[in-house]
Structure 1
Protein backbone atom coordinates (compact mmCIF):
# COMPACT_ATOMS: atom_id res chain seq x y z
CA UNK A 1 0.00 0.00 0.00
CA UNK A 2 1.12 3.55 -0.70
CA UNK A 3 2.15 6.03 1.96
CA UNK A 4 -0.74 8.31 0.93
CA UNK A 5 -3.23 5.51 1.54
CA UNK A 6 -1.72 4.77 4.95
CA UNK A 7 -2.07 8.41 5.98
CA UNK A 8 -5.65 8.61 4.72
CA UNK A 9 -6.60 5.36 6.42
CA UNK A 10 -5.18 6.61 9.71
CA UNK A 11 -7.21 9.83 9.49
CA UNK A 12 -10.39 7.91 8.62
CA UNK A 13 -10.01 5.59 11.60
CA UNK A 14 -9.03 8.36 14.03
CA UNK A 15 -12.01 10.56 13.18
CA UNK A 16 -14.74 10.09 15.77
CA UNK A 17 -17.80 12.13 16.64
CA UNK A 18 -16.83 14.27 19.64
CA UNK A 19 -19.50 15.80 21.87
CA UNK A 20 -17.37 17.19 24.68
CA UNK A 21 -15.08 20.00 23.56
CA UNK A 22 -12.49 22.10 25.36
CA UNK A 23 -14.38 25.39 25.59
CA UNK A 24 -11.14 27.34 26.18
CA UNK A 25 -9.61 26.26 22.87
CA UNK A 26 -9.84 28.71 19.98
CA UNK A 27 -9.35 27.99 16.29
CA UNK A 28 -8.62 31.12 14.28
CA UNK A 29 -10.82 32.41 11.50
CA UNK A 30 -7.83 32.05 9.15
CA UNK A 31 -7.37 28.36 9.91
CA UNK A 32 -11.07 27.62 9.50
CA UNK A 33 -10.97 29.45 6.17
CA UNK A 34 -7.99 27.33 5.16
CA UNK A 35 -9.87 24.11 5.95
CA UNK A 36 -12.93 25.26 4.03
CA UNK A 37 -10.76 26.23 1.05
CA UNK A 38 -9.55 22.63 0.89
CA UNK A 39 -12.99 21.17 1.57
CA UNK A 40 -14.58 22.92 -1.40
CA UNK A 41 -12.49 20.71 -3.66
CA UNK A 42 -15.25 18.14 -3.03
CA UNK A 43 -17.23 17.00 -6.08
CA UNK A 44 -20.76 18.18 -6.79
CA UNK A 45 -23.46 17.56 -9.36
CA UNK A 46 -22.39 19.23 -12.62
CA UNK A 47 -19.81 21.11 -10.50
CA UNK A 48 -22.50 23.57 -9.42
CA UNK A 49 -21.19 23.60 -5.83
CA UNK A 50 -24.56 24.15 -4.08
CA UNK A 51 -23.03 24.74 -0.66
CA UNK A 52 -22.73 27.82 1.48
CA UNK A 53 -21.37 28.18 5.02
CA UNK A 54 -22.13 30.20 8.09
CA UNK A 55 -19.21 30.05 10.55
CA UNK A 56 -20.35 30.82 14.08
CA UNK A 57 -17.66 31.69 16.62
CA UNK A 58 -19.41 34.37 18.67
CA UNK A 59 -20.28 32.88 22.05
CA UNK A 60 -23.69 34.52 22.36
CA UNK A 61 -24.66 33.32 18.90
CA UNK A 62 -23.53 29.80 19.77
CA UNK A 63 -25.83 29.91 22.80
CA UNK A 64 -28.69 30.84 20.48
CA UNK A 65 -27.83 27.93 18.18
CA UNK A 66 -27.71 25.61 21.19
CA UNK A 67 -31.39 26.29 21.80
CA UNK A 68 -32.18 25.69 18.14
CA UNK A 69 -30.18 22.42 18.32
CA UNK A 70 -32.20 21.01 21.22
CA UNK A 71 -29.59 22.05 23.83
CA UNK A 72 -26.77 19.88 22.51
CA UNK A 73 -23.75 20.78 24.66
CA UNK A 74 -21.21 20.69 21.85
CA UNK A 75 -22.79 23.67 20.10
CA UNK A 76 -21.70 25.92 22.97
CA UNK A 77 -18.32 24.41 23.91
CA UNK A 78 -16.84 23.93 20.43
CA UNK A 79 -14.50 26.49 18.89
CA UNK A 80 -16.87 27.08 15.99
CA UNK A 81 -20.10 25.83 14.51
CA UNK A 82 -19.97 25.47 10.75
CA UNK A 83 -23.48 25.51 9.34
CA UNK A 84 -23.60 23.84 5.93
CA UNK A 85 -26.30 25.51 3.86
CA UNK A 86 -27.68 24.12 0.61
CA UNK A 87 -28.42 26.35 -2.38
CA UNK A 88 -31.49 24.80 -4.01
CA UNK A 89 -31.31 27.31 -6.88
CA UNK A 90 -27.77 26.43 -7.80
CA UNK A 91 -28.61 26.96 -11.47
CA UNK A 92 -28.16 30.73 -11.05
CA UNK A 93 -24.40 30.06 -11.00
CA UNK A 94 -24.20 28.01 -14.19
CA UNK A 95 -22.69 30.73 -16.41
CA UNK A 96 -20.30 31.95 -13.72
CA UNK A 97 -18.94 28.48 -12.92
CA UNK A 98 -18.40 27.28 -16.50
CA UNK A 99 -16.99 30.62 -17.60
CA UNK A 100 -14.50 30.34 -14.74
CA UNK A 101 -13.48 26.86 -15.89
CA UNK A 102 -13.04 28.14 -19.44
CA UNK A 103 -10.88 31.05 -18.29
CA UNK A 104 -8.77 28.66 -16.19
CA UNK A 105 -8.07 26.58 -19.30
CA UNK A 106 -9.92 23.52 -18.01
CA UNK A 107 -12.36 23.40 -20.93
CA UNK A 108 -12.51 24.92 -24.39
CA UNK A 109 -15.22 27.32 -25.51
CA UNK A 110 -17.20 24.64 -27.36
CA UNK A 111 -17.36 22.43 -24.31
CA UNK A 112 -18.19 25.42 -22.11
CA UNK A 113 -21.19 26.31 -24.25
CA UNK A 114 -22.32 22.67 -24.39
CA UNK A 115 -22.09 22.27 -20.61
CA UNK A 116 -23.93 25.53 -19.99
CA UNK A 117 -26.70 24.52 -22.38
CA UNK A 118 -27.04 21.06 -20.81
CA UNK A 119 -27.12 22.40 -17.25
CA UNK A 120 -29.66 25.11 -18.11
CA UNK A 121 -31.83 22.47 -19.75
CA UNK A 122 -31.80 20.33 -16.61
CA UNK A 123 -31.60 22.24 -13.34
CA UNK A 124 -34.03 25.20 -13.63
CA UNK A 125 -36.87 22.90 -14.72
CA UNK A 126 -36.11 20.14 -12.22
CA UNK A 127 -38.76 19.72 -9.47
CA UNK A 128 -37.92 21.40 -6.16
CA UNK A 129 -37.63 18.08 -4.34
CA UNK A 130 -35.13 16.79 -6.92
CA UNK A 131 -32.98 19.89 -6.52
CA UNK A 132 -33.20 19.56 -2.73
CA UNK A 133 -32.02 15.94 -2.96
CA UNK A 134 -29.07 16.97 -5.14
CA UNK A 135 -28.18 19.78 -2.77
CA UNK A 136 -28.41 17.55 0.30
CA UNK A 137 -26.24 14.86 -1.27
CA UNK A 138 -23.58 17.34 -2.33
CA UNK A 139 -23.62 18.96 1.12
CA UNK A 140 -22.95 15.52 2.59
CA UNK A 141 -19.89 15.09 0.37
CA UNK A 142 -18.32 18.38 1.43
CA UNK A 143 -19.24 17.86 5.09
CA UNK A 144 -17.38 14.56 5.24
CA UNK A 145 -14.41 16.07 3.42
CA UNK A 146 -14.31 18.95 5.89
CA UNK A 147 -14.39 16.63 8.91
CA UNK A 148 -11.50 14.54 7.55
CA UNK A 149 -9.47 17.68 6.85
CA UNK A 150 -10.13 18.89 10.39
CA UNK A 151 -8.98 15.56 11.83
CA UNK A 152 -5.84 15.59 9.69
CA UNK A 153 -5.05 19.00 11.23
CA UNK A 154 -5.51 17.64 14.75
CA UNK A 155 -9.04 18.92 15.40
CA UNK A 156 -12.27 17.16 16.26
CA UNK A 157 -15.80 17.41 14.90
CA UNK A 158 -19.32 16.13 15.18
CA UNK A 159 -21.92 16.45 12.44
CA UNK A 160 -25.45 17.27 13.63
CA UNK A 161 -28.65 16.90 11.68
CA UNK A 162 -30.70 17.21 14.85
CA UNK A 163 -31.74 20.85 14.97
CA UNK A 164 -34.81 22.89 14.11
CA UNK A 165 -34.05 23.89 10.54
CA UNK A 166 -37.00 26.26 10.28
CA UNK A 167 -35.88 28.14 13.39
CA UNK A 168 -32.28 28.23 12.14
CA UNK A 169 -33.35 29.66 8.77
CA UNK A 170 -35.40 32.32 10.53
CA UNK A 171 -32.65 33.18 13.03
CA UNK A 172 -30.10 33.72 10.25
CA UNK A 173 -32.53 35.32 7.80
CA UNK A 174 -32.13 32.71 5.06
CA UNK A 175 -34.29 33.11 1.98
CA UNK A 176 -36.31 30.15 0.68
CA UNK A 177 -33.52 29.42 -1.79
CA UNK A 178 -31.17 28.36 1.02
CA UNK A 179 -31.76 25.33 3.24
CA UNK A 180 -29.81 24.43 6.40
CA UNK A 181 -28.45 20.90 5.96
CA UNK A 182 -26.16 20.10 8.91
CA UNK A 183 -24.24 21.80 11.71
CA UNK A 184 -20.62 20.76 12.24
CA UNK A 185 -19.13 21.48 15.66
CA UNK A 186 -15.36 22.02 15.35
CA UNK A 187 -12.82 22.15 18.15
CA UNK A 188 -10.52 20.18 20.45
CA UNK A 189 -11.91 17.20 22.32
CA UNK A 190 -12.12 17.60 26.09
CA UNK A 191 -12.39 13.82 26.50
CA UNK A 192 -11.70 11.09 23.93
CA UNK A 193 -14.65 10.01 21.81
CA UNK A 194 -15.82 6.44 22.29
CA UNK A 195 -15.37 3.88 19.53
CA UNK A 196 -18.30 2.50 17.58
CA UNK A 197 -18.66 -0.71 15.61
CA UNK A 198 -19.74 -1.16 12.01
CA UNK A 199 -21.86 -3.86 10.40
CA UNK A 200 -19.81 -6.57 8.64
CA UNK A 201 -19.21 -5.86 4.98
CA UNK A 202 -20.76 -9.18 3.95
CA UNK A 203 -24.08 -8.00 5.39
CA UNK A 204 -24.20 -4.75 3.44
CA UNK A 205 -22.35 -5.35 0.17
CA UNK A 206 -23.05 -7.65 -2.76
CA UNK A 207 -20.39 -8.38 -5.36
CA UNK A 208 -21.80 -9.45 -8.73
Structure 2
Protein backbone atom coordinates (compact mmCIF):
# COMPACT_ATOMS: atom_id res chain seq x y z
CA UNK A 1 0.00 0.00 0.00
CA UNK A 2 1.31 3.45 -0.87
CA UNK A 3 1.30 6.21 1.70
CA UNK A 4 -2.04 7.96 1.74
CA UNK A 5 -0.87 11.28 3.13
CA UNK A 6 -3.53 13.96 3.28
CA UNK A 7 -1.11 16.62 4.51
CA UNK A 8 2.54 17.11 3.57
CA UNK A 9 3.26 20.56 4.99
CA UNK A 10 5.46 20.09 8.04
CA UNK A 11 4.44 23.32 9.75
CA UNK A 12 0.77 22.42 9.42
CA UNK A 13 1.39 18.93 10.77
CA UNK A 14 3.51 20.12 13.68
CA UNK A 15 1.69 23.26 14.77
CA UNK A 16 -1.81 22.05 13.97
CA UNK A 17 -1.63 19.01 16.24
CA UNK A 18 -4.13 19.09 19.09
CA UNK A 19 -5.04 16.61 21.82
CA UNK A 20 -8.47 15.39 20.74
CA UNK A 21 -10.73 13.64 23.22
CA UNK A 22 -13.99 13.31 21.32
CA UNK A 23 -13.89 11.56 17.94
CA UNK A 24 -16.37 10.81 15.20
CA UNK A 25 -17.32 7.22 16.10
CA UNK A 26 -18.35 6.44 12.53
CA UNK A 27 -14.78 6.87 11.25
CA UNK A 28 -12.78 3.65 11.11
CA UNK A 29 -9.19 3.02 10.04
CA UNK A 30 -8.52 -0.09 7.98
CA UNK A 31 -5.94 -2.59 9.16
CA UNK A 32 -3.94 -1.91 5.99
CA UNK A 33 -3.79 1.83 6.60
CA UNK A 34 -3.06 1.36 10.30
CA UNK A 35 -0.11 -0.86 9.47
CA UNK A 36 1.20 1.79 7.09
CA UNK A 37 0.88 4.41 9.84
CA UNK A 38 2.84 2.16 12.18
CA UNK A 39 5.47 1.47 9.52
CA UNK A 40 5.96 5.23 9.22
CA UNK A 41 5.94 5.60 13.00
CA UNK A 42 8.86 3.24 13.52
CA UNK A 43 11.25 5.42 11.57
CA UNK A 44 11.81 6.97 15.03
CA UNK A 45 15.29 6.57 16.53
CA UNK A 46 16.00 4.13 19.35
CA UNK A 47 18.90 3.14 21.55
CA UNK A 48 21.38 1.09 19.48
CA UNK A 49 18.51 0.68 17.01
CA UNK A 50 16.84 -2.06 19.06
CA UNK A 51 13.37 -0.65 18.28
CA UNK A 52 11.82 -1.85 21.57
CA UNK A 53 8.36 -0.44 20.87
CA UNK A 54 5.46 -2.85 20.53
CA UNK A 55 1.93 -1.78 19.56
CA UNK A 56 -1.44 -3.22 20.53
CA UNK A 57 -4.16 -1.71 18.32
CA UNK A 58 -7.42 -1.89 20.23
CA UNK A 59 -10.14 -1.25 17.66
CA UNK A 60 -12.75 -3.94 18.22
CA UNK A 61 -15.78 -3.55 20.48
CA UNK A 62 -14.53 -6.43 22.59
CA UNK A 63 -11.06 -4.90 22.91
CA UNK A 64 -12.45 -1.54 23.95
CA UNK A 65 -14.60 -3.21 26.60
CA UNK A 66 -11.40 -4.72 27.96
CA UNK A 67 -9.80 -1.27 28.09
CA UNK A 68 -12.81 0.52 29.57
CA UNK A 69 -12.08 -0.12 33.27
CA UNK A 70 -8.38 0.57 32.73
CA UNK A 71 -8.46 4.05 31.19
CA UNK A 72 -9.96 5.91 34.13
CA UNK A 73 -10.68 9.52 33.07
CA UNK A 74 -10.09 8.82 29.39
CA UNK A 75 -13.17 6.77 28.60
CA UNK A 76 -14.49 9.19 25.97
CA UNK A 77 -11.45 8.58 23.78
CA UNK A 78 -11.92 4.84 24.22
CA UNK A 79 -15.59 5.03 23.27
CA UNK A 80 -15.31 7.29 20.22
CA UNK A 81 -11.85 6.81 18.68
CA UNK A 82 -11.16 4.57 15.70
CA UNK A 83 -8.58 2.82 17.87
CA UNK A 84 -6.62 3.02 21.06
CA UNK A 85 -2.99 2.23 20.30
CA UNK A 86 -1.29 0.92 23.43
CA UNK A 87 2.48 1.28 23.25
CA UNK A 88 4.66 -1.12 25.22
CA UNK A 89 8.40 -1.42 25.58
CA UNK A 90 9.86 -4.89 25.08
CA UNK A 91 12.35 -5.39 27.90
CA UNK A 92 13.81 -8.35 25.99
CA UNK A 93 14.33 -6.27 22.85
CA UNK A 94 17.97 -7.35 22.38
CA UNK A 95 16.61 -10.75 21.31
CA UNK A 96 15.88 -9.00 17.98
CA UNK A 97 19.47 -7.78 17.57
CA UNK A 98 20.56 -10.50 15.16
CA UNK A 99 17.51 -9.96 12.95
CA UNK A 100 17.87 -6.16 12.95
CA UNK A 101 21.61 -6.04 12.32
CA UNK A 102 21.65 -9.13 10.10
CA UNK A 103 18.96 -7.69 7.83
CA UNK A 104 20.89 -4.42 7.70
CA UNK A 105 23.89 -6.39 6.40
CA UNK A 106 21.75 -8.24 3.84
CA UNK A 107 20.37 -4.94 2.56
CA UNK A 108 23.86 -3.39 2.34
CA UNK A 109 23.04 -0.87 5.05
CA UNK A 110 25.84 -2.07 7.33
CA UNK A 111 29.13 -3.94 6.73
CA UNK A 112 29.22 -7.38 8.36
CA UNK A 113 32.32 -6.50 10.34
CA UNK A 114 30.51 -3.53 11.87
CA UNK A 115 27.57 -5.74 12.79
CA UNK A 116 29.83 -8.33 14.44
CA UNK A 117 31.78 -5.69 16.32
CA UNK A 118 28.68 -3.88 17.57
CA UNK A 119 26.87 -7.02 18.72
CA UNK A 120 29.98 -8.24 20.54
CA UNK A 121 30.26 -4.87 22.27
CA UNK A 122 26.59 -4.43 23.15
CA UNK A 123 25.71 -7.98 24.26
CA UNK A 124 27.52 -7.87 27.65
CA UNK A 125 26.22 -4.35 28.33
CA UNK A 126 22.62 -5.43 27.75
CA UNK A 127 23.07 -8.49 29.97
CA UNK A 128 24.25 -6.30 32.86
CA UNK A 129 21.44 -3.75 32.65
CA UNK A 130 19.16 -3.59 35.66
CA UNK A 131 15.39 -3.77 35.28
CA UNK A 132 15.14 -0.06 36.08
CA UNK A 133 17.69 0.77 33.38
CA UNK A 134 15.81 -1.34 30.84
CA UNK A 135 12.52 0.33 31.73
CA UNK A 136 14.07 3.79 31.44
CA UNK A 137 15.50 2.95 28.00
CA UNK A 138 12.26 1.61 26.55
CA UNK A 139 10.33 4.52 28.08
CA UNK A 140 12.51 7.01 26.19
CA UNK A 141 12.44 5.05 22.94
CA UNK A 142 8.71 4.36 23.17
CA UNK A 143 7.99 8.04 23.79
CA UNK A 144 9.93 8.95 20.64
CA UNK A 145 7.76 6.48 18.73
CA UNK A 146 4.60 7.92 20.29
CA UNK A 147 5.46 11.43 19.11
CA UNK A 148 6.24 10.08 15.65
CA UNK A 149 2.89 8.30 15.69
CA UNK A 150 0.98 11.47 16.49
CA UNK A 151 2.69 13.46 13.74
CA UNK A 152 2.28 10.60 11.26
CA UNK A 153 -1.43 10.42 12.08
CA UNK A 154 -1.74 14.11 11.22
CA UNK A 155 -0.16 13.45 7.83
CA UNK A 156 -2.77 10.77 7.20
CA UNK A 157 -5.56 13.16 8.16
CA UNK A 158 -6.27 11.80 11.64
CA UNK A 159 -6.22 13.26 15.13
CA UNK A 160 -4.73 11.84 18.31
CA UNK A 161 -4.46 12.16 22.05
CA UNK A 162 -1.55 10.88 24.15
CA UNK A 163 -2.83 9.21 27.32
CA UNK A 164 -0.73 8.55 30.39
CA UNK A 165 -3.61 8.06 32.80
CA UNK A 166 -4.38 4.35 32.73
CA UNK A 167 -4.02 1.29 34.92
CA UNK A 168 -0.38 0.42 34.29
CA UNK A 169 -0.42 -2.42 36.80
CA UNK A 170 -3.08 -4.44 35.02
CA UNK A 171 -3.12 -3.36 31.37
CA UNK A 172 -0.38 -5.70 30.18
CA UNK A 173 -2.08 -8.87 31.34
CA UNK A 174 -5.49 -7.54 30.28
CA UNK A 175 -4.15 -7.35 26.72
CA UNK A 176 -2.70 -10.85 27.05
CA UNK A 177 0.96 -9.87 27.14
CA UNK A 178 3.66 -10.99 29.58
CA UNK A 179 4.16 -8.27 32.22
CA UNK A 180 7.67 -9.54 32.85
CA UNK A 181 8.60 -8.67 29.25
CA UNK A 182 6.32 -5.81 28.18
CA UNK A 183 6.42 -2.46 29.96
CA UNK A 184 3.45 -0.12 29.38
CA UNK A 185 4.46 3.31 28.10
CA UNK A 186 1.51 5.23 26.68
CA UNK A 187 -1.83 4.98 24.92
CA UNK A 188 -2.46 7.07 21.82
CA UNK A 189 -6.08 7.39 20.74
CA UNK A 190 -6.56 7.97 17.01
CA UNK A 191 -9.50 8.93 14.81
CA UNK A 192 -11.27 11.94 13.29
CA UNK A 193 -12.07 14.79 15.65
CA UNK A 194 -15.73 15.27 16.48
CA UNK A 195 -14.74 18.26 18.58
CA UNK A 196 -11.56 20.20 17.85
CA UNK A 197 -8.84 20.07 20.47
CA UNK A 198 -8.04 23.26 22.35
CA UNK A 199 -4.98 25.30 21.38
CA UNK A 200 -2.59 25.80 24.28
CA UNK A 201 0.16 28.17 25.34
CA UNK A 202 3.79 27.13 25.08
CA UNK A 203 6.57 28.75 27.07
CA UNK A 204 8.95 30.62 24.74
CA UNK A 205 12.45 29.31 24.10
CA UNK A 206 14.06 32.12 26.12
CA UNK A 207 12.18 30.91 29.23
CA UNK A 208 13.29 27.29 29.00
CA UNK A 209 16.73 27.35 27.37
CA UNK A 210 20.08 27.62 29.15
CA UNK A 211 23.29 28.62 27.38
CA UNK A 212 26.71 27.75 28.71
TM over 0.5: yes
> TM-score normalised to the size of structure 2?
0.92
Matched-pair contact (CA < 8 Å) for 2:83–2:191: yes
Matched-pair contact (CA < 8 Å) for 1:89–1:124: no
| Structure 2 residue aligned with 1:206 | 210
> TM-score normalised to the size of structure 1?
0.94
Unaligned runs of 5+ in 2: 1-7
| Structure 2 residue aligned with 1:182 | 186
Residues 30-73 of structure 1: CA distance to partner in whole angstroms, max 9, x if unpaired?
Answer: 11111001111111000000011111110132132121001521
| Structure 2 residue aligned with 1:27 | 29
Question: Secondary structure at 2:197's aligned position in 1?
Answer: coil
How far apart are 1:130 and its partner, in Å? 0.7
| C-alpha separation in 1, matches of 2:78 and 2:90 | 23
Unaligned runs of 5+ in 1: 1-5
| C-alpha separation in 2, matches of 1:12 and 1:126 | 35
The number of residues matched between the two structures is 203
Equivalent positions of 1:1-208 (< 5 A) are 7-72=9-74, 73-175=76-178, 176-208=180-212
| C-alpha separation in 1, matches of 2:137 and 2:170 | 23
How far apart are 1:95 and its partner, in Å? 1.6
| C-alpha separation in 1, matches of 2:49 and 2:166 | 28
| C-alpha separation in 1, matches of 2:16 and 2:172 | 33
CA RMSD of aligned residues (A): 1.2
Matched-pair contact (CA < 8 Å) for 1:94–1:120: no
